[in-house]
Amino acid sequence: MHELSVAQALLETLDRYQRGNGGSVKKMALTLGRLGGVDPDALRYAWPAALAANGNRALADCGLEIEVLPLSFVCRECGTKIKAEKLTLECPACHRETLVRDGGRELIIKHIEVEQNV
């Protein structure tokens, strides 16, 4: 399960952020593309183990929020852009099999919630 190494890498990023800015990190929100090879459920499962192995106590209570993006396509023929839940080739506007995938491999830290220690 490579999601554990993904969780550890995300926590390394949070660790650097926290050490540079202070406070306690309460939540990290991610955006994942459907074709990025990261299983959201496996990442949620691996998150507590990665947190436990991380030595930074300011990250100990950090929650994980994951949004999975729908697939995006653009038609090479007519330029129509669509979102879909599964892979497809046929454009709904011109009915030609000219759709190409637009993205889908994203792994973006959307935002980090930090509680400042006063």
Q: Give residue-wise pLDDT tens across range 36-82.
A: 999 999 999 999 999 999 999 999 999 999 999 999 999 999 999 99
Q: What is the CATH number of domain 3-69+104-115?
A: 3.30.2320.50
Three-state DSSP class for 56?
coil
Any idea where the domains of the chain sit in the sequence? 3-69+104-115
pLDDT tens column, 1-15? 599 999 999 999 999
Task: Decide if 11 contacts 54 (C-beta within 8 A).
Answer: yes
Specify the DSSP class assigned to residue 87: -
The pTM of the full predicted model, rounded to 2 decimals, is 0.86
- Report the Cα 31 to chain-centroid distance in Å: 3
Task: Give the C-alpha distances (Å, rounded to integers) separating 73 from 82, 96, 101, 104, 116.
Answer: 5, 13, 4, 9, 41
